[in-house]
């Protein structure tokens, strides 16, 4: 379809898609040019997956029209399937087939045979770096390698349009960077790419961005158009204590403020320079927050209600030579660290590095092979009940009872944490007031908007006022406003002496930590404050590395 | 439109998965074998060696002779005693299934005008089925004994009719002979409906279905790929089960193997249709397995005549059985194994199964859209 070069390759005209009463996409109209990387950006529930499925002709629009390459997605689905490559969110690989068997299947399905197939396989395997693993089962690949294999399968017959649904979710920064390089190469060959993502920093790398929020398009254009608006409005201010953040956020002239290592990153209203602030380059997220009307203000009522943690152990958690083996495989290899009272300690590392395993051992969910992990000097293995009384746990995925109402979840979890009678009643009432659950009390938890699910998860974890809070990727996929609200609560709790341990892929979240333990291949590569890690990664080529740069630099063996 | 190259690719993929997936091998090879062993050795609907007690209050030759008839019967394992109390206690304790009392005046019955022998039979009614067996078998034993008396001494008791009973097709009334062939229908239901519905649901769960759909593969190819793969698998399992039934359990095959394979193939086709239909509705493995159990497995188990005789079910339930494909297959199986090639019956059953299959596939073609909503 070379004659279509002048025309937009994708044309969306007044597209609406509803599921029952809920409108997942509302009156979307946009033309997308050929041969570009188009970022489909927005938090979970924005309508990204729905839009991609509509583009892939796997769903019918409720109203409106989509054409790809001139073909209508409703009437000419077959022609569209012949000209697109689509990678769904969950890899779409046969995990019980080997890498090669997956490739052969898709080659057969696409009619790529004989000499051509040999050439294509060779290219794709070297392109993805999967050559040494052709006999490995796809299910045994790491998250990043799965995505690369998924990509290879969709690229067997070169598509005109490549639709990628959140290809970087669950992929560590190193693999993310490699994926980006691959995609940029493909765009250079003239393939049009739709890359959907929840990571706002990825938006900046796209040539064009469609910003979606709650089914509406907030922005369509080159990302620089967004960030340019923020020029001269972003500053770094040294942080003395966490409470400074609340103070700054609540100022009239401030749109947004977040902790960034030892500093606070401040975004101000137009033509309101921040005194004493060091001007820095704006980011896509700054513009997004500005577009949404700024960060939520006010102090955390949750923290205000929480009692001061009276315990005066200096070290709350001590980990000594902690090791976990699964058969021959050592998932965690003799790691040691200590977490101080009232500290936010982050565990960072690529997929399969041993983060989650460490985390699960600390919470007493996995048995320790050797070594020691204690909470207030008590072993989680020997005295789990006593040790756990001080702990609150918020799991990565929404792990509440979806069929139970909000109130029932609150009642259940307060009961689990031994709250009874008057105490339980007050705790529940407090949570309802703090998180505004009133209108949702009788709704089943699974039907809540995503932001409320996240709030409910936090509420259930903190109702019993734990002194230590474990957070497993707490705000993954959550919109930036809810994320700010969440960290406002966490920062407030820390001020009261609560200790936080968090695992995360989000560099934004990592910036909130006092110290970060970087785990790689089961070992701790380095422990330090975010700024210390960044300092270590300073090179001539990169004098001002981001935390992500530092992460990659240190994991690649420079630690 | 079906493209042979793509179809072949899908079938090859399916077999790679089957080989690697322990659970499908379990369902296809191990499960039928276990089922056959269970039904062959475990489930028996006839009773042998039932433990009963016998209280002998009369020791005259007539009484002795009747006791001998009971003891010789292969249905009973008789505990003889003189003390009614002890035997009674054993029945109460559940050690015995029942008791027979031969009263002290038993031998006098020849002199009685009504010529009725006053033996008492007490059966443990907590298990009504067994209880009636005990009663019937004791009755039968007594009649047998009377007959014997007649042949030996010419004395005619109450017996007026002398039935000469022969059981056709299953001469020794061995329940194994009709249960084992019937159990083949269960195996085929499991493979056709349950396994197929599960593997397709798995493709939905893992997102592979979504990837497939976005390629140029058509939905007919996806369905045919599953259909052919599991048809082959099901037939292999069928042949394996037939082999076991005949050679390991000694059930005779009186009809032709060809007719057996034909009816098996048609039934499998029907079961696969149901499995595929379930899979278009159930997109996760939990729902798929529930649906397959309720729509395919349980009806085949309970309403096919494999374990429970259809003619003794309440009439409304009998009507329901007409909608169960397994009913026709069980009838084919039992006929072919025990009676022989009764073509009119077999062909009628095959035609009905085929008709039901056509309904399933007609709905399937309507429901089958290459789309997620």
The CATH number of the domain where B91 resides is what? Answer: 3.40.1710.10
Cβ of A108 and B20 within 8 Å? Answer: no
What pLDDT sits at residue A4? 42
Q: How far apart are CA B269 and CA B193, in angstroms?
A: 10
Q: What region does B326 belong to: left with phi over 0, alpha with psi -120 to 50, or beta?
A: alpha
Cβ of B211 and A153 within 8 Å? Answer: yes
* Together in a domain, B239 and B359: yes
Q: Is residue B166 part of a domain?
A: no
* Together in a domain, B343 and B251: yes
Q: How far apart are CA A199 and CA A208, in angstroms?
A: 15
What pLDDT sits at residue B97? 84
Q: Is residue B148 part of a domain?
A: yes
* Together in a domain, B99 and B223: no
Interface residue of B6, B21, B209, B215 to substitute, partner A, most A CBs within 10 Å: B215
Identify the weakest region by mean pLDDT among A287-291, A428-432, B165-169, B175-179.
B165-169
Cβ of B207 and A110 within 8 Å? Answer: no
Tokens of B206: 């893992």
Q: How far apart are CA A106 and CA B217, in angstroms?
A: 10
* Together in a domain, B130 and B204: no
CA B22 to chain centre: 27
Question: Is A92 at the interface with chain B, CB within 8 A?
Answer: yes
What is the pTM for the complete model shown? 0.79
Rounded to an integer, the average pLDDT of B203-212 is 88
Rounded to an integer, the average pLDDT of B58-66 is 83
CA A444 to chain centre: 25
Residue A312 phi, psi (nearest 5): -120, 35
Q: Which residues of B touch A56 (CB under 8 A)?
A: 214
Cβ of B372 and A96 within 8 Å? Answer: no
Q: Is residue B305 part of a domain?
A: yes
* Together in a domain, B28 and B79: no
Question: Is A105 at the interface with chain B, CB within 8 A?
Answer: yes
Per-residue DSSP letter, A287: H
Q: Can you state the percent helix, strand and coil of chain A, rounding each to 5? A: 35, 25, 35
Q: Is residue B162 part of a domain?
A: no
- Who has greater pLDDT, B165 or A65? A65
Question: Is B214 at the interface with chain A, CB within 8 A?
Answer: yes
Return the SS3 of A62: coil
What pLDDT sits at residue A2? 42
Dihedral of CA A280/A284/A286/A290: which sign?
Answer: positive
For residue B156, pLDDT beyond 60: no
Domain end position, chosen among B101, B117, B152? B152
Which among A462-476, B264-278, B280-294, B329-343 has the top mean pLDDT? B264-278
* Together in a domain, B39 and B59: no
Write b or e for each residue in A467-500: b if 16 or more Cβ atoms lie within 10 A of its Cβ, otherwise e. bbbbbbbbbbbbbbbbbbbbbbbbbbbbbbbbbb
Question: Is B206 at the interface with chain A, CB within 8 A?
Answer: yes
For residue B233, pLDDT beyond 60: yes
Share of chain B above pLDDT 70, in %: 90
Q: How far apart are CA A334 and CA A320, in angstroms?
A: 7
* Together in a domain, B196 and B329: yes
For chain B, the C-alpha Rg in angstroms (whole number) is: 28
Of residues B192, B180, B175, B174, the one with CA closest to residue B36: B180
Dihedral of CA atoms A553, A554, A555, A556 in degrees, nearest 10, equals 50
What pLDDT sits at residue A387? 73
Domain end position, chosen among B83, B117, B152? B152
For residue B150, pLDDT beyond 80: no
* Together in a domain, B265 and B138: no
User: Please, what is the average pLDDT of chain B?
Assistant: 85
Cβ of A94 and B17 within 8 Å? Answer: yes
Cβ of B216 and A101 within 8 Å? Answer: no
* Together in a domain, B291 and B318: yes
* Together in a domain, B293 and B233: yes
Contact B249, B164 (CB under 8 A): no
pLDDT by residue for chain A (559 residues), tens only, comes to 444 445 689 999 999 999 888 889 999 999 999 999 999 998 888 899 999 999 999 999 999 999 999 999 999 998 999 999 999 887 688 989 999 999 999 999 988 999 999 999 998 998 888 898 999 999 888 777 888 899 999 999 889 999 999 888 777 778 888 889 889 999 999 999 999 998 888 889 999 999 998 899 999 999 999 999 999 999 999 988 888 898 999 998 999 999 998 899 999 998 888 888 899 999 999 999 998 888 888 888 888 888 888 777 788 899 999 999 988 888 899 999 999 999 999 998 877 788 888 888 887 778 889 998 888 888 777 777 777 778 888 877 667 888 899 999 999 988 888 888 899 999 999 999 999 999 999 999 888 888 888 899 999 999 989 999 999 888 877 888 888 999 999 999 999 999 999 988 778 889 999 999 999 888 999 999 999 999 999 988 888 898 888 988 988 876 5
Host H or E run for residue A38: strand A37-41
Share of chain B above pLDDT 90, in %: 30
Choose the closest CB to A108 out of B9, B207, B213: B9
Q: Is residue B159 part of a domain?
A: no
Host H or E run for residue A339: strand A329-340
Cβ of A92 and B208 within 8 Å? Answer: yes
The DSSP code sequence of A134-189 is: TTSBGGGS-HHHHHHHHHHHHTSS--SEEEESSTTTT--HHHHHHHHHHHHHHHHT
How many Cα atoms are found within 13 Å in the side-chain-facing hemisphere of A87?
28
Identify the weakest region by mean pLDDT among A310-319, B22-31, B58-67, B142-151.
B142-151
Choose the closest CB to A84 out of B16, B206, B214: B214
Residues paired with residue A423 on neighbouring β-strands, in sequence order: none
Choose the closest CB to B5 out of A19, A111, A163: A111
Choose the closest CB to B371 out of A60, A109, A153: A60
Contact A292, A315 (CB under 8 A): no
* Together in a domain, B193 and B314: yes
Question: CB burial class (10 A; 0-12, 13-18, 19+) of residue A72?
Answer: middle
Domain end position, chosen among B99, B117, B152? B152
* Together in a domain, B218 and B323: yes
Interface residue of A108, A110, A162 to substitute, partner B, most B CBs within 10 Å: A108
Tokens of B243: 């082999």
Contact B185, B333 (CB under 8 A): yes
**Nearest residue in A to B5, CA atom:** A108
Q: How far apart are CA A487 and CA A513, in angstroms?
A: 11
Q: Is residue B99 part of a domain?
A: yes
Contact A286, A475 (CB under 8 A): no
- Residue matched to tokens 């590392």: A349
Which residues 6+ apart lie within 8 Å of A468 measured at CB? A316, A317, A375, A390, A391, A392, A498, A499, A500, A501
Residue A238 phi, psi (nearest 5): -65, 145
Q: How far apart are CA A411 and CA A407, in angstroms?
A: 6
* Domain carrying residue B121: 50-152
Tokens of A197: 């993502």
What number is the ipTM of this complex?
A: 0.75
Angle at B125 between CA B122 and CA B131, to 5 degrees: 70
Which residues 6+ apart lie within 8 Å of B316 measured at CB? none
Tokens of B10: 């899908």
Host H or E run for residue A67: strand A63-68
Q: How far apart are CA A42 and CA A459, in angstroms?
A: 25
What is the CB neighbour count within 10 angstroms for residue A196?
25
Q: How far apart are CA B231 and CA B28, in angstroms?
A: 11
Chains A and B form CB pairs within 8 A to the count of 91
Q: Is residue B284 part of a domain?
A: yes
Dihedral of CA A425/A427/A429/A432: which sign?
Answer: negative
How many Cα atoms are found within 13 Å in the side-chain-facing hemisphere of A185?
13
Question: Is A411 at the interface with chain B, CB within 8 A?
Answer: no
Q: Is residue B167 part of a domain?
A: no
Tokens of A312: 């005066």
Contact residues, A window 153-192, toward B, CB-based 8 Å cutoff: 153-154, 163
User: What is the total count of domains within chain B?
Assistant: 2
Contact A16, A64 (CB under 8 A): yes
What is the CB neighbour count within 10 angstroms for residue A260?
23
For residue B113, pLDDT beyond 80: no
The DSSP code sequence of A71-127 is: EETTT-HHHHHHHEEEE-TT----TTSBHHHHHHHHHHHHT--HHHHHHHHHHHHHH
Question: CB burial class (10 A; 0-12, 13-18, 19+) of residue B152?
Answer: exposed
Q: How far apart are CA B275 and CA B27, in angstroms?
A: 15
Q: Can you state the percent helix, strand and coil of chain B, rounding each to 5? A: 65, 5, 25
- Residue matched to tokens 């333990």: A517
Rounded to an integer, the average pLDDT of B92-98 is 85
Choose the closest CB to A58 out of B8, B12, B371: B371
- Who has greater pLDDT, B345 or B142? B345
Tokens of A90: 């969950």
């Amino acid at each position: 379809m070379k004659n279509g070069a002048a025309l937009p390759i994708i044309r969306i005209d007044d597209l609406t898609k509803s599921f029952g009463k809920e409108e997942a996409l509302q009156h979307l109209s946009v033309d997308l040019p050929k041969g570009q990387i188009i970022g489909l950006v927005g938090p979970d529930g924005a309508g990204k997956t729905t839009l991609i499925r509509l583009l892939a002709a796997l769903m019918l629009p409720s109203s409106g029209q989509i054409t790809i390459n001139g073909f209508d997605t409703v009437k000419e689905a077959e022609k569209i399937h012949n000209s697109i490559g689509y990678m769904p969110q969950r890899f779409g690989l046969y995990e019980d087939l080997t890498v090669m068997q997956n490739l052969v299947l898709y080659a057969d399905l696409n009619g790529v045979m004989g000499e051509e197939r040999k050439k294509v396989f060779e290219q794709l395997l070297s392109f993805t770096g999967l050559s040494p693993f052709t006999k490995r089962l796809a299910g045994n690949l790491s998250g990043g390698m799965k995505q690369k294999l998924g990509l290879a399968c969709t690229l067997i017959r070169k598509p005109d349009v490549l639709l990628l649904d959140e290809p970087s979710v669950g992929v560590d920064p190193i693999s993310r960077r490699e994926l980006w390089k691959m995609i940029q190469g493909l765009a250079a060959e003239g393939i049009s790419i739709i890359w959907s993502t929840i990571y706002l920093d990825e938006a900046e790398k796209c040539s064009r961005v469609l910003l979606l929020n709650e089914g509406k398009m907030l922005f369509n254009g080159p990302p620089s158009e967004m960030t340019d608006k923020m020029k001269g409005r972003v500053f770094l201010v040294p942080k003395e204590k966490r409470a400074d953040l609340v103070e700054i956020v609540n100022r009239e002239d401030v749109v947004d403020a977040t902790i960034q290592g030892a500093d606070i990153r401040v975004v101000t209203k137009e033509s309101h320079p921040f005194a004493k602030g060091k001007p820095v380059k704006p980011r896509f997220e700054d513009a997004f927050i500005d577009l949404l009307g700024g960060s939520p203000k006010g102090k955390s009522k949750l923290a205000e209600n929480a009692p001061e943690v009276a315990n005066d152990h200096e070290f709350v958690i001590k980990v000594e030579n902690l090791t976990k083996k699964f058969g021959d495989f050592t998932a965690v290899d003799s790691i040691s660290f200590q977490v101080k009272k009232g500290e936010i300690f982050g565990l960072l590392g690529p997929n399969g590095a041993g983060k989650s395993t460490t985390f699960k051992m600390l919470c007493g969910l996995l048995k320790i092979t050797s070594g020691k992990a204690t909470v207030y000097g008590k072993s989680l293995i020997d005295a789990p009940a006593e040790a756990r009384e001080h702990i609150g746990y918020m799991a990565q995925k929404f792990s509440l009872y979806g069929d139970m109402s909000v109130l029932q979840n609150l009642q259940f979890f307060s009961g689990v944490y031994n709250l009874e009678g008057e105490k339980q009643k007050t705790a529940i009432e407090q949570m309802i007031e703090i998180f505004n659950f009133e209108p949702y009390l009788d709704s089943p938890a699974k039907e809540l908007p995503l932001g409320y699910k996240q709030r409910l998860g936090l509420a259930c974890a903190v109702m019993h006022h734990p002194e230590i809070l474990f957070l497993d990727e707490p705000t993954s996929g959550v919109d930036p406003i809810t994320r700010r609200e969440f960290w406002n609560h966490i920062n407030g709790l820390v001020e009261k002496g609560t200790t936080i341990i968090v695992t995360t892929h989000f560099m934004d979240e990592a910036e909130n930590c006092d110290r970060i333990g970087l785990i790689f291949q089961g070992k701790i590569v380095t422990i330090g404050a975010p700024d210390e890690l960044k300092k270590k990664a300073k090179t001539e080529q990169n004098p001002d590395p981001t935390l992500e740069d530092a992460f990659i630099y240190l994991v690649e063996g420079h630690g | 439109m079906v493209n042979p190259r793509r179809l072949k690719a899908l079938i090859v993929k399916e077999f790679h998965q089957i080989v690697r997936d322990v659970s499908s091998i379990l369902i296809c090879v191990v499960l039928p074998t276990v089922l056959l062993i269970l039904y062959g050795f475990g489930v028996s609907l006839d009773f042998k060696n039932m433990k009963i007690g016998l209280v002998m209050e009369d020791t005259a030759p007539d009484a002795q002779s009747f006791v001998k008839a009971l003891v010789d019967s292969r249905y009973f394992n008789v505990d003889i005693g003189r003390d009614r109390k002890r035997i009674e206690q054993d029945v109460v304790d559940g050690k015995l299934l029942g008791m027979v009392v031969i009263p002290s005046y038993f031998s006098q019955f020849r002199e009685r005008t009504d010529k009725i022998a006053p033996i008492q039979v007490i059966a443990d009614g907590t298990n009504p089925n067994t209880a009636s067996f005990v009663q019937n078998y004791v009755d039968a034993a007594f009649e047998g004994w009377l007959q014997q008396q007649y042949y030996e001494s010419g004395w005619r008791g109450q017996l007026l009719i002398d039935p000469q009973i022969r059981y056709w097709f299953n001469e020794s009334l061995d329940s194994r002979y009709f249960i084992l062939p019937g159990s083949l229908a269960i195996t085929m239901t499991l493979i056709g409906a349950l396994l197929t519905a599960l593997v397709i649901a798995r493709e939905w769960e893992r997102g592979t279905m979504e990837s497939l759909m976005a390629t140029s593969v058509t939905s007919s190819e996806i369905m045919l790929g599953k259909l052919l793969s599991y048809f082959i698998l099901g037939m292999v399992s069928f042949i394996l089960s037939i082999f076991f039934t005949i050679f390991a359990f000694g059930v005779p095959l009186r009809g032709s193997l060809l007719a057996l394979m034909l009816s098996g193939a048609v039934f499998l086709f029907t079961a696969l249709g149901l499995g595929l239909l379930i899979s278009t509705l159930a997109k996760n493995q939990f729902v798929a397995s529930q649906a397959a159990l309720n729509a395919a497995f349980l009806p085949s188990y309970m309403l096919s005549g494999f374990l429970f005789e259809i003619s003794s079910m309440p009439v409304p339930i009998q009507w329901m059985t007409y909608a169960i494909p397994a009913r026709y297959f069980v009838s084919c199986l039992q006929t072919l194994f025990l009676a022989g090639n009764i073509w009119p019956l077999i062909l009628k059953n095959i035609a009905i199964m085929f008709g039901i299959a056509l309904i399933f596939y007609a709905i399937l073609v309507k429901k089958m859209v290459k789309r997620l909503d």
